[in-house]
Amino acid sequence: MKFHTKKFTLLFILILVFSLTISSTVFAEKVVTDMAGRKVEVPDEVNKIVTTYRSATQFVFCLGVQDRLAASDLSFEKVSLFQKLYDGEKLPNVGSKNRGINIEQILEVNPDLVILFPHNIGPEVAKKLKDYNIASVIIKPESYEQIKETTRILGKAIGVEERAEKVIDQYDKIIDIVNKREIKDKKKVYFANSELLDTVGKGMLQTSMTELAGGINPAKNVKSGFIKTSLEELLKWNPEYIVVSQYYSGSVQDLLNRPELQELKAIKNENVYRFPSKVEPWDFPSPSSYLGIIWLAEKLYPEKYEDIDVQQVVEEYYNTLYDKSYEDLGGGSL
């Protein structure tokens, strides 16, 4: 009898250990701290992802996991980069951060992970999804360091840490290239958004881009964020260079021809440029915005970059992030 009791006890322990092993395998989770400071339990395997705004989708593509997309926001079909890289079935849309997020649509696709924005209703949506036991991470890629942090967080959450580090290596390579150039006489650079007198001040990615490229943004000391300036102020700043957003409403030639701007150094020397690119804008917070730094630096100080083939740097960058060259994606020459 004692023998059978011992045998039964041993069998019970083995069954219990086996059950716990299976349970931990099926329900294994990892904890990720997102950019809102939330500790989120994410399934060990993330096979179905929902993105709720354009930046989130860009990071999914740069991490090479677009085949795991289960739904995306309204911008998906409007971005040429996504259309050129995505060959799956048409994705359901979950709304947008401006028009609202469709929780029901998210629940319908039953995702493993939802990537959310930090502003508007993003945190509120995160709370609602938690009630349904759906993992979500909030990202905030609004500066170069935050773009790097976003890449690393999503790499961990999705389970592609090695790919994330390869992408970050490309970020660091750009910074290393520009940091090796000693710039003593820094050029004044004015950045225009959709209109000439719409610019940016302190705390904006475009200001950081200008400074990392070795330039000075004269609007930085006005205030933070987006700025509406005046013609008088622009003339007073008298920048040596003017760079306009990919979303600028006019053309570079129109700017060069405007009579009221003819006394500006940038106009006199025809140092007016539109940010690339035909594939995606580099002046917008995204994984590719690091390329805006080296592109602008080479425009400002061409003599300092004679040893660097910027086009080759861009091609390698795109090959790493998107598994396709810039040329293959329709970027053309810079």
Show the domains of the chain with their CATH numbers: 28-159 (3.40.50.1980), 176-322 (3.40.50.1980)
pLDDT at 5: 52
pLDDT at 119: 87
pLDDT at 141: 94
d(CA 267, CA 216): 17
- The predicted-structure confidence for 285-321, as pLDDT tens digits, reads as follows 899 999 999 999 999 999 999 999 999 999 999 999 9
pLDDT at 334: 81
d(CA 65, CA 222): 41
Peptide bond into 277 cis (omega under 30): yes
Find out whether 52 and 117 touch, Cβ atoms under 8 Å: yes
d(CA 268, CA 115): 46
Residue written as token pair 């502003």: 119
Q: Could you give the dihedral angle defined by the CA atoms of residues 74, 79, 85 and 88, in that order, rounded to the nearest 10 degrees?
A: 30
Q: Whole-model pTM? A: 0.87
Find out whether 206 and 143 touch, Cβ atoms under 8 Å: no
Residue written as token pair 């709370």: 127
Residue written as token pair 């020397």: 269
Q: Which residues contact 213 (CB under 8 A, 6 or more apart)?
A: 178, 189, 293, 294, 296, 297, 300
- The predicted-structure confidence for 192-237, as pLDDT tens digits, reads as follows 999 999 999 999 999 999 999 999 999 999 999 999 999 999 999 9
Below-70 pLDDT ranges, the chain? 1-28
- The DSSP string of 174-225 is HHHHHHTS--SSPEEEEEE-SSTTEEE-BT-HHHHHHHHTTEE-TTTTT-BS
pLDDT at 22: 45
Q: What angle do CA 182, 187, 188 make, to 5 degrees?
A: 145
pLDDT at 28: 61
pLDDT at 7: 52
CA atoms within 13 A of residue 252's CA, in its CB half-sphere: 15
Find out whether 76 and 158 touch, Cβ atoms under 8 Å: no
pLDDT at 276: 85
pLDDT at 233: 97
